[in-house]
Amino acid sequence: MSFLTLMIALVFVAIPLVLSKTLHLGLERDTIVATVRSIVQLLAVGYLLQFVFDSESILYIVLMIVLMIGAATENARKKGSSIPGITWKLVVTFLFVQVLTQGILLSLNIIPATAQYIIPISGMVIGNSMVLGILFLNRFTAEVGSRHDETELILSLGGTPKQAVHRPLVTSIKASIIPTIEAQKTIGLVQLPGMMSGQIIAGADPVQAVMFQLLILFLLLTTAVITSIMLGYFSYPTLFNDRMQFIKEQSNREA
Amino acid sequence: MVGSGLNAKGSDSMMEDEAAIQFHEVSFATKELTILESITGFFVRGEITTLVGPSGAGKSTLFRLCNGLLSASSGDIWIDGVMIGDYEPVQLRREVGIVLQSATMMTGTVRDNLELPRALQGESLTDDEAEEYIEVVGLGKEFLTRNSHDLSGGQKQRVSIARTLVNRPKILLLDEITSSLDRVSTQEIEELIVHINQCYKTTVIWITHHLDQALQIGAYTWVMIDGELVESGPSNLLRNPENEDVRRFVKGEVE
C-alpha cells in the first residue's frame, strides 16, 4: 500500500465529517483530532518498529516493553487512584504478566526470540492486561462501596480483612475476566479478529494466521486471570489498617 | 456512683471492678469534624445501660470504638479493665458483640447467617446449637432453612441478634435495633434482651430513640448531645434531668 492510496482512503474520514456537519452532530472536532492522532501515533510506531527490527538489539526491545508498561500504568492508575500505591502495584502486575507469558513463549520455543514476534505480542498482552486492570479496579471500588454493610458486619463479628472483602474481591475478579472468556466463545463467527485479518490481508496463509490468533487468545486468558488476581490481592490490604479497621471509615463515617 | 463525674482513671477500685467498659477523655474526630469530645465514664458490668440522645450525637461512633471498628483519636478505653489496644482486634470484636442497626443479612439461609461467626474462625455450628440460638431469639427452628432475604424487618433483627450471640460476647452493643419495628415486635425484642441479660449476665448497652424504652429497660442511662456525655446515672434521671439540654431533649424539643 502506498501513501497515495492511504491519502485516498481519507474519504472514509470525509464521509462522517460531512454527515456530522449536515446533521449538526457536533462530531467534527473529535473526528479530526482522532484521525490526526491515529495517523501520527501509528506512523511513529511503524517507523520505530522498523528501526528496532533493523537494529536487532535486545536493548531496544526492552526499552519498547518498558514504554508499553509505562503507558499502560499511566492509563490504568487513574481508575485506582483511591488505592494507595496503585502505580507500583500496576507496574509489578504488568511486569509479571509480561515476564510469565514471554518466558513460556520463548522457553518452549512457541515463538522465535526476535523483535518481530516479541514486540507485537507484548503489546497485545500488556494492552489487554491494562484493560483488565481498569475493568477490575472499576468493579472492585464499586463493589467495596456497595457492600460496605457486609464488610462492616464481618469485621464486627471478628472476621479478618481478607474475609470481609472476600465477596467483593471474588465478584470483581470474575466480572473482569468474563468478557475475555465470552469474547472467545463467539470469535470468528461474526468478526474476524483484527490481528488475523491483518495477517491474511498482508498475504499470510489463513491457517497460519488462525494458529497465531489462537495462540494470542490462549495468552490473553492467562493475562486476564493473572492481572485480576494479582491486582486484587495487592489492592485489598490497603483498604485496612493494622487494627483491622476499614480505612475509609476513618474519613467518611458520620456520627 | 455511675459515670461522668469521674475524672481520674482507676482512682476508684470499686469503679474499676464494676466497669465493663470504661472511658477516659475519649475523643474521636475526622478531618472535617469532631464527633466525640472527651467522653469520661463507664458502663456497669452485668447491667443494661441505654444510650439516648439526638441524631448526630456520636452514639454509633462510640459503639464502633468499643467494638474496635474504629479507634479513638485520643483518650483511653478499657474493656473489663484491659486497655482496648492490648486486645487482638478479632478477640475484642468477639467479646464485645455489636448488633448493627442495618441488620444486614448475608446471602443464604438463616442457618448460614447464624454459622457466620463460627465460619470466620474456621469452625462450624452444630444443628443443636443452631436450634438453640434461633429459639433464644424467639423464632422456631423451621426458620433455620429460610432464605435470609425473605425475612421481615423484625425477623432479620432477631437473626442478627442471635448471630452476634453465637460469639458468646461478654458485652452486647445494640444500635437502635427496634427503630424500624412495630410496637409488638419492639416489646418482644425488649423482653428478649432483658432475658439475655438475666440469663447470661451479659452487659448490654442499648442505643435507643424511645425514652420510655430507656426508662423501662435500662438500669442506667447515658445522655449524649453533640458528641458529649452530658448526663449519666440511673435511668430515673430522665424523669427530672438537671441539665438544661437534657431537659429540652426529654421534652422532645431537640431531635
Cα–Cα distance measured from residue B167 to residue B169, given in angstroms and rounded to the nearest whole number = 6
Asked if B115 and B124 count as a contact pair (C-beta separation under 8 A), the reply is yes
Whether residue A70 is found in the same domain as residue A185: yes
Asked if B203 and B51 count as a contact pair (C-beta separation under 8 A), the reply is no
Q: Give residue ranges of A with CB < 8 Å to any B CB.
A: 149-150, 152-160, 163, 243-246, 249-255
Return the exposure string of A121-160: e unless at least 16 CB atoms fall within 10 Å of the residue's CB, then b: bbbbbbbbbbbbbbbbbebbbebbeebbebbbbbbbbbbe
Nearest residue of B to residue A160, measured between CA atoms = B90
What is the predicted ipTM?
0.90
Tens-digit pLDDT profile for residues A102-158? 999 999 999 999 998 999 999 999 999 999 999 999 899 899 989 999 999 999 999
Whether residue A25 is found in the same domain as residue A82: no
Cα–Cα distance measured from residue B115 to residue A196, given in angstroms and rounded to the nearest whole number = 53
In angstroms, the separation between the Cα of residue A177 and the nearest Cα of chain B is 23
B102 Cβ partners below 8 Å, 6+ apart? A149
> Does residue B175 come out as left (phi exceeding 0), alpha (psi in the -120 to 50 range) or beta?
beta
Whether residue A28 is found in the same domain as residue A146: no
Which chain B residues contact residue A251 at CB under 8 A?
30-31
Q: Mean pLDDT throughout A175-203? A: 85
Q: Mean pLDDT throughout B217-241? A: 91
Return the exposure string of B212-238: e unless at least 16 CB atoms fall within 10 Å of the residue's CB, then b: ebbbebbbbbbbbbbbbbbbbbebebb
Nearest to B117 among A150, A158, A245 (CB): A158
In angstroms, the separation between the Cα of residue B133 and the nearest Cα of chain A is 16
Cα–Cα distance measured from residue A112 to residue B62, given in angstroms and rounded to the nearest whole number = 65
Distances, alpha carbon A172 to alpha carbons A133, B10, B191, in Å: 11, 49, 43
Tell me the β-bridge partners of B207. B51, B175
Nearest to A159 among B67, B71, B120 (CB): B120
Nearest to A245 among B56, B69, B116 (CB): B69
pLDDT at B180 over 90: no
Of the listed ranges A73-77, A92-96, B211-215, the one predicted with least confidence: B211-215
Q: What is the CA radius of gyration of chain A?
A: 22
B 42-101 residues with CB < 8 A to A: 56-61, 64, 67-71, 89-91, 93-94, 97-98, 100
A174 Cβ partners below 8 Å, 6+ apart? none
Which chain B residues contact residue A252 at CB under 8 A?
30
Cα–Cα distance measured from residue B238 to residue B93, given in angstroms and rounded to the nearest whole number = 31
In angstroms, the separation between the Cα of residue A223 and the nearest Cα of chain B is 31
Whether residue A150 is found in the same domain as residue A218: yes
More confident position, A249 or B178 = B178
Please state the φ and ψ torsions of residue B29, each to the nearest 5 degrees: -140, 145
pLDDT at B1 over 60: no
Whether residue A60 is found in the same domain as residue A47: no
Per-residue confidence (pLDDT) for residue A202, from 0 to 100: 87
B252 Cβ partners below 8 Å, 6+ apart? none
B30 to A158: CB separation less than 8 angstroms, yes or no: no
Please state the φ and ψ torsions of residue B139, each to the nearest 5 degrees: -115, 150
CATH number corresponding to B13-102+169-250:
3.40.50.300
Whether residue A94 is found in the same domain as residue A137: yes
Whether residue A88 is found in the same domain as residue A22: no
Whether residue A83 is found in the same domain as residue A23: no
Whether residue A16 is found in the same domain as residue A72: no
B38 Cβ partners below 8 Å, 6+ apart? B25, B26, B27, B75, B228
Per-residue confidence (pLDDT) for residue B52, from 0 to 100: 94
Residue type, B46: G
Per-residue confidence (pLDDT) for residue B157, from 0 to 100: 92
Whether residue A185 is found in the same domain as residue A72: yes
C-alpha cell at position B19: 466497669
Domain edges within chain B: 13-102+169-250
Number of domains making up chain A: 2
Count CA atoms closer than 13 A to B83's CA, side-chain side: 6
Interface membership of B102 toward A (CB under 8 Å):
yes
pLDDT at A94 over 60: yes
Asked if A238 and A169 count as a contact pair (C-beta separation under 8 A), the reply is no
C-alpha cell at position A173: 475478579
- Structural domain range at position A11: 1-55
Q: What is the count of residue pairs from A and B with beta carbons less than 8 Å apart?
A: 77
Q: Mean pLDDT throughout A58-77? A: 93
User: How many Cβ atoms sit within 10 Å of the Cβ of residue B128?
Assistant: 8
Whether residue A16 is found in the same domain as residue A67: no
Whether residue A27 is found in the same domain as residue A67: no
